[in-house]
Amino acid sequence: MVRRRPTVRPAQPAAKTPRIMGNLRRQHPKADAELRFENAFQLLAATILSAQCTDERVNEVAPALFTAYPDAASLAAADEGALEVLIKSTGFYRSKARSRRGMAASVVADHAGTVPQSRDALITLSGVGRKTANVVLGHAMGEPAMPVDRHVLRVANRLGIARGDDPERVEEQLCAVLPRRGWTRASDTLILHGRRVCKPKPLCDRCSVQQECAFIPPSTPPTKRRTRR
């Protein structure tokens, strides 16, 4: 028997989400991938490195890494110790080195050295989950995709345009109410808003969608709480 997952209703009516996202895009018109890359393989490798690390730090180590291992074949054959030295400053370098070599080895063995172009194939690669696959599809392959990271989870839930802490469920809810062609940019925008404004301690007075936000900071006086609901 197929068990249906319970439906999660966002707090905002679905029709409001495109308008909220439009306002956020105007606040962050340059929202885009912050990792630097020249092809899908580089973005895949950089995204694996960015786990538990800032994009700025990954961008610092990436040039030497891409020079030493320009493609899947060279990375698959890399000496693990030498690879670890290059990526040490990104943290968790041993497991990241293993993941990156494993990813490269399966790209070589199963995809003739070329990064596969479907989500289903991408997530079979070592170290590649749905979020990483969506980053690569959206930014390196021109295929609209909605990467959901901790910033997207936090901002979307506070705004009330999605509900839940399961990235796949939040991805489903956002994709259901936004035009497909805008998915990647919507994710970029929510991520940038989460980094700059809607931080764990949010800067609501700098937020372009404050009047439409479902989040009520715990310190908000009761009178304001009534008007925001």
Catalytic positions: 131, 149
Q: Which is nearer to ligand SF4, 16 or 119 (CB)?
A: 16
Q: Which is nearer to ligand SF4, 118 or 220 (CB)?
A: 220
Sign for the pseudo-dihedral over CA of 127, 128, 130, 136: positive
Q: Which is nearer to ligand SF4, 125 or 209 (CB)?
A: 209
Contact residues toward ligand SF4 (CB under 6 A) are 155, 158-159, 197-198, 202-204, 207, 209-210, 213, 215
Nearest distance, CB of residue 82 and ligand SF4, angstroms: 43
Q: Which is nearer to ligand SF4, 86 or 207 (CB)?
A: 207
CA atoms of 150 and 167, how far apart (whole Å):
8
Q: Which is nearer to ligand SF4, 48 or 155 (CB)?
A: 155
Residue keyed to tokens 């839940």: 164
- Amino acid, res. 77: A
DSSP state of 9: -
How many CB atoms lie under 10 A from the CB of residue 89? 12
